[in-house]
Amino acid sequence: MQAQKRLGMQTMKLMGDVQIVGSASIAGKKEGEGPIAGCFDVLVDEGHWGETTWEKAESKMQKEAAALAVSKAGKSLAEMNMLFAGDLINQCICTTFGIRSLQIPFYGLFGACSTMAESLSLGAMAIDGGFAENVVCGTSSHFASAERQFRQPMEYGGQRPFTAQWTVTGSGMAVLSNEGQGPYITHVTTGVVTDKGIKDANNMGAAMAPAAADTLLAHFNDTGRQPDFYDLIVTGDLGKLGSQIVRELMQMNNVTLGDNYNDCGLMIFDLIKQDVHSGGSGCGCSAVVLCGHILKELQKGTLQKVLFVGTGALMNTTSTQQGETIPSIAHAVAIENFKE
Amino acid sequence: MQAQKRLGMQTMKLMGDVQIVGSASIAGKKEGEGPIAGCFDVLVDEGHWGETTWEKAESKMQKEAAALAVSKAGKSLAEMNMLFAGDLINQCICTTFGIRSLQIPFYGLFGACSTMAESLSLGAMAIDGGFAENVVCGTSSHFASAERQFRQPMEYGGQRPFTAQWTVTGSGMAVLSNEGQGPYITHVTTGVVTDKGIKDANNMGAAMAPAAADTLLAHFNDTGRQPDFYDLIVTGDLGKLGSQIVRELMQMNNVTLGDNYNDCGLMIFDLIKQDVHSGGSGCGCSAVVLCGHILKELQKGTLQKVLFVGTGALMNTTSTQQGETIPSIAHAVAIENFKE
């Protein structure tokens, strides 16, 4: 028996009912000084946000973003059948502590910075498969909680190489439903773990770029679409170097990414003025750019068809210390204002 | 529009085609000296299994278990549409490094010791929803990689309280398909994060028991089934204390768990002879008990109807150091030899 929604090796075509009916974004001070600052629902001026630790502040961001997204969808928490979320912190505590008071049936994810796309993929399948009417999908990151876990104590003030990215402080959450006025999630392309041997944890854009290119190629092959089908193809978060590598890798496969290609890590900050080197990163980066900026543009109609490609670097500090390379993954979700 | 497969608040009833067509279990030396030692496909005598680190040995277990499960299902890796997996180690590296060479489209999960049940839940939905023909679901844990990450350096030789559990070394993987001869996954009950205020990371059975009871009650309420419907109701991994608390919590809700109730943490070790205090734990515990023992009993017909309830404690070392309590979750999967 054939799985009737499969297109090719990695892509699924949904039946047409899954739509994004609400979203919310909460972002930090630096994000509130960047080029898309105006799109966020809440700006948090101080890293602790009234909590005693950065991790607790990040948890609060997930909780508040989820509650706000549900409220903006005109729905109640009790109507949510499932919540799909995760984060960067060990054992995803910012998620589990953040969402515990919401009391929504929960599936925990780990996709590193691909989590927003992973949560949308699985949430969309849950609705399209008839398992849920409404689900919440999202993630978060926090510059300070990530920095001290993955790199150095904040007080150390270590120098950052120019290939490094700046972890976004923020949380984005989206509510998917089987009823509404769109936009629709029409296709989901599942990523394969890709590892081209990059070992430098300060150059994750280069590590993740091959995964992004692999998933983009699979998406175009499986759907028969070309890059110019979309108003926006957006990876998150490869930064300046990684997104340039994606362009080159695609070109080597005879696929040209035009001016409609961008990266969430380039959109959220002014790279020069804000001194963030290669751009933004962290689960929260693509989450707030999608839930804050892109979904609003779809609603306004300035964008009609978007391919959202979350990218994640799947290493930890132990694997880096053990001399391992950085495996990466990318998941793609097609979001369109009209059904085919 | 109603999601047609929902039963009550947390449970989904599948259409009847999702079946477990292959499984494999790899376990360590101590597990190979326990009461169900004979059921495992591979026993690994030494913690490094030819690798240079425990984490790499755990990765190898996931890779070999996945490949063996696919082979035992009479299928090829290329026929696998998706792989759902995760583990306990920070950023789930034992999974991502383990499965990267398999090149199967991958969704990373974090459900702590509930991961086997979570992966089966999402894998079953992927097939039942028409998104996949074949998927691989599984997880792993390793006593030494977990111990040094969550507790003390192995060389420290810390004393363990009697409420502590022993992390199982092993990996279990199952192949689900939309064609075969059963057993069938018939129902999935999604857990809600539950936190009753337990703070002792050496007493995770007590922390997880309320989550298990909550999901069991939801399952019985949603399906209208009674505990005696099942030949085996098995939690994993609450250990001796936690499973006793589940019995008491269920009794307080006027539901009696009879002799058909057991716990994977009690089944894998001889608690007294093997000096494991409250029993086994770790993602690998319920994974190898299911993939090694329970699925074989279903195949033999000594079991016909099983309710498999994976339980996870969702804290990390940072949250414990910050004085936080331990949120927990449990996901239930009904596995039956015959469709209704």
Would the pLDDT of A167 be above 80?
yes
Averaged over B136-159, what is the pLDDT? 91
Band (B157; pLDDT cuts 50, 70, 90): confident
Interface test with B, best of A4, A141, A151, A319 (most B CBs within 10 A): A319
The answer for A 7-66 residues in CB contact with B (under 8 A) is: 9-10, 12, 17, 52-53, 55-56
Q: Do B96 and A55 touch (CB under 8 A)?
A: no
What's the confidence (pLDDT) of residue B339?
81
Contact A232, A303 (CB under 8 A): yes
Over the stretch A271-282, which tens digit does the pLDDT of each residue have? 999 999 999 999
What's the confidence (pLDDT) of residue A2?
79
Q: How far apart are the first and last CA of chain B?
A: 26
CA distance B123 to B106: 11
What's the confidence (pLDDT) of residue B100?
97
A99 interaction partners in chain B (CB closer than 8 Å) = 193
B326 and A CB contact within 8 Å: no
Over the stretch A303-325, which tens digit does the pLDDT of each residue have? 999 999 999 999 999 999 999 99
The 3-class secondary structure across chain A, one letter per residue, is: CCCCCEECCCEEECCCCCEEEEEEEEECCCHHHCCCHHHCCEECCCCCCCCCCHHHHHHHHHHHHHHHHHHHCCCCHHHCCEEEEEECCHHHHHHHHHHHHHCCCEEEECCHHHHHHHHHHHHHHHHHCCCCCEEEEEEEECHHHHHHHHCCCHHHCCCCCCCCCEECCEEEEEEEECCCCCCEEEEEECCCCECCCCCCCCCHHHHHHHHHHHHHHHHHHHHCCCHHHCCEEEEECCHHHHHHHHHHHHHHCCCCCCCCEEEHHHHCCCCCCCCCCCCEECHHHHHHHHHHHHHHHHHHCCCCEEEEEEEEECCCHHHHHCCCCCCEEEEEEEEECCCC
Q: Do B6 and A82 touch (CB under 8 A)?
A: no
What's the confidence (pLDDT) of residue A157?
81
Angle formed by the axes of helices B54-72 and B143-150, to 10°?
Answer: 140
A131 and B CB contact within 8 Å: yes
B194 interaction partners in chain A (CB closer than 8 Å) = 100
CA–centroid distance for B123 within its chain: 14
Q: Do B316 and A90 touch (CB under 8 A)?
A: yes
What is the overall mean pLDDT for chain A?
Answer: 96
The 3-class secondary structure across A65-124, one letter per residue, is: HHHHHHHHCCCCHHHCCEEEEEECCHHHHHHHHHHHHHCCCEEEECCHHHHHHHHHHHHH
Band (A154; pLDDT cuts 50, 70, 90): confident
What's the confidence (pLDDT) of residue B210?
97
Q: Assess: ipTM above 0.95.
A: yes
A329 interaction partners in chain B (CB closer than 8 Å) = 96, 106, 108
The answer for A 208-247 residues in CB contact with B (under 8 A) is: none
A279 and B CB contact within 8 Å: no
Nearest to B118 by CA among B106, B129, B128, B109: B109
What's the confidence (pLDDT) of residue A153?
83
What's the confidence (pLDDT) of residue A221?
98
Angle formed by the axes of helices A143-150 and A54-72, to 10°?
Answer: 140
What's the confidence (pLDDT) of residue A245?
97
CA distance A91 to A88: 8
Averaged over A85-97, what is the pLDDT? 97
What's the confidence (pLDDT) of residue A271?
95
A276 and B CB contact within 8 Å: no
A112 and B CB contact within 8 Å: yes
Over the stretch A173-232, which tens digit does the pLDDT of each residue have? 999 999 999 999 999 999 999 999 999 988 999 999 999 999 999 999 999 999 999 999
Over the stretch B34-68, which tens digit does the pLDDT of each residue have? 999 999 999 999 999 999 999 999 999 999 999 99
Interface test with B, best of A11, A12, A76, A91 (most B CBs within 10 A): A91
Q: Do A3 and B178 touch (CB under 8 A)?
A: yes
Averaged over A32-53, what is the pLDDT? 97
Would the pLDDT of A340 be above 80?
no
Q: Do A91 and B315 touch (CB under 8 A)?
A: yes
B92 and A CB contact within 8 Å: yes
What's the confidence (pLDDT) of residue A51?
97
- Closest-approach residue (CA) in chain A for B119: A107
Averaged over B27-38, what is the pLDDT? 98
Whether the bond between B183 and the residue before it is cis, its omega within 30 degrees of 0, is: yes
Contact B30, B269 (CB under 8 A): yes
B191 interaction partners in chain A (CB closer than 8 Å) = 105-106
B107 and A CB contact within 8 Å: yes
Q: Do B110 and A86 touch (CB under 8 A)?
A: yes
B333 interaction partners in chain A (CB closer than 8 Å) = none
What is the overall mean pLDDT for chain B?
Answer: 96
What's the confidence (pLDDT) of residue B13?
97
B258 and A CB contact within 8 Å: no
Averaged over B238-256, what is the pLDDT? 97
Q: Residue with structure tokens 């109609």?
A: A301
Would the pLDDT of A170 be above 80?
yes
The 10 Å Cβ neighbour count of residue A206 is 22
Q: Do A193 and B100 touch (CB under 8 A)?
A: yes
What's the confidence (pLDDT) of residue B310?
98
CA-derived radius of gyration, chain B? 18
| Weakest-pLDDT range from A70-79, A144-153, B42-51, B230-239 | A144-153
What's the confidence (pLDDT) of residue B188?
98
A2 interaction partners in chain B (CB closer than 8 Å) = 133
Averaged over B264-287, what is the pLDDT? 97
B99 interaction partners in chain A (CB closer than 8 Å) = 193
Over the stretch A111-150, which tens digit does the pLDDT of each residue have? 999 999 999 999 999 999 999 999 999 999 999 999 999 9
- Closest-approach residue (CA) in chain A for B127: A3
What's the confidence (pLDDT) of residue B81?
98
What domains does chain B contain, in order, with CATH numbers? Answer: 6-177 (3.40.47.40), 184-336 (3.40.47.40)
Q: Do A5 and B112 touch (CB under 8 A)?
A: no
Interface test with B, best of A59, A115, A193, A320 (most B CBs within 10 A): A193
Band (A23; pLDDT cuts 50, 70, 90): very high
Q: Do B128 and A129 touch (CB under 8 A)?
A: yes
